[in-house]
C-alpha cells in the first residue's frame, strides 16, 4: 500500500513536531505531497521548506487548532476548495495531561476530548466517505499503548486513546473489503517533548523509549499488512498483553506509580 503514495496527497495533523513531523519527512521521501496542519505556523513553514529542498515535495499549510470545535470542518472544506484529493489521512494531533483531580482544569479536559476524540472522529468520517466512494485510501489514527488500560493521573488521555483504538478497529472491520484501510497506531514511550511538557519530567531518562523514526516505520509496516492496530516495539506489545491479563484493579493502581505528577499544578502538551 505505501508504494502507492508517490504523487498522491496526504494530510497530517499535528505536523509541527514529534511523530507528526516524522510522518511528514518519511512520506515526502516516498514522493507524497502533503497538507500539513498544526497551531505553530513558523514550525510548519520550516518543515515545508525542508521537505521541498530534500524531496521537491509540494505542501499546503493550514494553521489552526483542532481543539476548536469548528476547525476540523474548516480544514476539510479548505482542502476540498483547493481540489486536493487525500489518499492518506494521519490523525496525529493530540494532547496529553498529567495531574491530580484537584489540579485538573475542567476546560482543558474538555479541550483534550475535543482534540483527541471529536476532531479525529469528524475528519475520519469526512475522508472515509470519499475513500469508500473511490474504493482506495488509508487512515492512520495515532493512539497509544495507554489505550489498553486505565491510567491514574492521565484518565482523560488514556480514555481518549482507548476510544481511538476501538473506533479505528471497528471501522477497519467495516472497510477491510472495500479497498480502504483504517489502522490505529499504538506507540509506547517515544523520544519527543511530550512527557516533559505533560508533567512527568525526566521520564525519558528513566524508561526505555523509541525514536520517532522507529514509530513511523512501524506504522507503515502495519499499514502494509492492513492491520487494524499496530503496536510499535515488542516490549510495548507484550506490555499491552500483560495489562489485559492482569486484574483491572491491579493495573490501574499500579499505574499510579508511573504517572504520579512530579510537581503540583496542571500541565499539558499539544502537538
Active site residues: 157
Q: Which residue has the cell 506489545?
A: 237
What single string gives the DSSP state of each residue in 172-196?
A: HHHHTTTTEEEEEEE--SBSSSHHH
Question: CA–CA separation, 138 vs 141, rounded Å?
Answer: 10
268 near 154, Cβ under 8 Å?
A: no
Q: What Rg value do the Cα atoms of the chain yield, rounded?
A: 18
What contacts 24+ positions apart, CB below 8 Å, involve 235-242?
235/188, 235/208, 236/145, 236/186, 236/187, 236/188, 239/145, 239/188, 240/145, 240/148, 240/186
99 near 199, Cβ under 8 Å?
A: yes
Amino acid at each position: 500500500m505505501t508504494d502507492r503514495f508517490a504523487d498522491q496527497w496526504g494530510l497530517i495533523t499535528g505536523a509541527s513536531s514529534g511523530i507528526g513531523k516524522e510522518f511528514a519527512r518519511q512520506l515526502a521521501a516516498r514522493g507524497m505531497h502533503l497538507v500539513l496542519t498544526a497551531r505553530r505556523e513558523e514550525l510548519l513553514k520550516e518543515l515545508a521548506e525542508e521537505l521541498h529542498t530534500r524531496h521537491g515535495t509540494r505542501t499546503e499549510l493550514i494553521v489552526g487548532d483542532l481543539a476548536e470545535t469548528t476547525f476540523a470542518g474548516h480544514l476539510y472544506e479548505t482542502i476540498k476548495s483547493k481540489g486536493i484529493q487525500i489518499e492518506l489521512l494521519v490523525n496525529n494531533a493530540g494532547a496529553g495531561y498529567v495531574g491530580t483531580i484537584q489540579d485538573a482544569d475542567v476546560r482543558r479536559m474538555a479541550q483534550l476530548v475535543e482534540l483527541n476524540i471529536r476532531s479525529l472522529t469528524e475528519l475520519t468520517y469526512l475522508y472515509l466517505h470519499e475513500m469508500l466512494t473511490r474504493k482506495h485510501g488509508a487512515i492512520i489514527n495515532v493512539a497509544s499503548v495507554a489505550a489498553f488500560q486505565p491510567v491514574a493521573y492521565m484518565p482523560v488521555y488514556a480514555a481518549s486513546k482507548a476510544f481511538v483504538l476501538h473506533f479505528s478497529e471497528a471501522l477497519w472491520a467495516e472497510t477491510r473489503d472495500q479497498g480502504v484501510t483504517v489502522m490505529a497506531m499504538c506507540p509506547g514511550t517515544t523520544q519527543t517533548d511530550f512527557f516533559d511538557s505533560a508533567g512527568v519530567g525526566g521520564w525519558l531518562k528513566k524508561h526505555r523509549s523509541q525514536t520517532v523514526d522507529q514509530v513511523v516505520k512501524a506504522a507503515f509496516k502495519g499499514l502494509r499488512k492492513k492491520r487494524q492496530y499496530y503496536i510499535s516495539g515488542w516490549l510495548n506489545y507484550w506490555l499491552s498483553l500483560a495489562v489485559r491479563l492482569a486484574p483491572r484493579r491491579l493495573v490501574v493502581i499500579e499505574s499510579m506509580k508511573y504517572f504520579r505528577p512530579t510537581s503540583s499544578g496542571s500541565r499539558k502538551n499539544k502537538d
